[in-house]
Each structure stands twice: as structure tokens, then as C-alpha cells.
Amino acid sequence: MRNGAEGGAVERRHESGYDTTLPTDNIYEVPCPILRALEIIGGKWKLPLLWHLADGAARFNALQRTVTGITHMMLSKCLKELERDGLVSRTDRGGKIRHVEYALTERGRLLLPALRELYRWGEAHAARDGGRGMPVSVEAGPSARATARFAARSR
């Protein structure tokens, strides 16, 4: 380890092998994988959207119905950001009536193991915390098939 007395950095090597060199003047400028992930999937709505898309492609209106409380404008914003970040694809099926579907990309599907762990953690801690959080109804969750699939993989 090197001290940053020369205005340099504090050099550390994490047990994983990643270089975790820290600037001594502002540790918040350090690239952190967790913070980067939260920049992409953070917020109130993105994880529920990804959760619902785990069961397959869905249209805009179907997503708005299943993600309880999300406004049209917020749904549009989140989907655009998820598409920009490569987690969701948008496919315009054309036709007389506009038919646009959203689906997880391969990069988005890579988040499914983490979502399963969050699901399991939330399930374990919901009772302890008095069940606080967003109300979830049958319509507001992924299909029973997807929920059962996630629950089975979580155990």
C-alpha cells in the first residue's frame, strides 16, 4: 500500500484481484461497480420493469398496467433509459395499429440472477420489516409461471 502524501493515490489490491486505487482528495470519484450498476438500474421503477420483462416481451400498455403506480411519462423515460443502456430492446411490429414490444436483451437477462437474489432477500425480510414497500397484486406481478420459476431458482 502506498500513502497518497504526494497528492497521488492510495493503492490497494482487492482480494478479487481488482485494483482499487483510491484518489486521496475525493473517494467519491472512484469508479465503483455497484454505483455504476445503480446508475443504470436504480430508481423506483427500473427493477420492477426488468422483473416483469423476465417473463417475456410486453407492450407498453401491458407494462403500465402491471407496474402499479407508474405514469405514462415515467414508463416512457425508464424504457428509453433501459434501451439506451442495452438492457431492454424495443421492437416495432408495424401494421395499421402500432404494435411496439419491449423485451430483455442478453445484457438484461444477465441481471436475472441478481434479481432472483433480491427477490429472495425481500421475501426473507418483508415479514421482519412489517411488509413495507410497494403493494403488489396478482396483476402487478410477473405471471404465476415467472414467479414460481424465480422462487424455485432462489431456493
- Residues 55-71 pLDDT 10s: 999 999 999 999 999 99
Which amino acid is residue 133, in one-letter code? G
* Beta carbons of 67 and 140 less than 8 angstroms apart: yes
Give the whole-angstrom CA distance, residue 92 versus residue 7.
53
pLDDT at 119: 86
- Polymer length of the chain: 155
Q: Model's pTM, two decimal places?
A: 0.66
What is the rounded radius of gyration, in angstroms, for the C-alpha atoms of the chain? 20
Is the pLDDT at 54 greater than 90? The verdict is yes
- Residue 80 DSSP label: H
Domains and CATH numbers, the chain: 1-31 (no CATH), 40-154 (1.10.10.10)
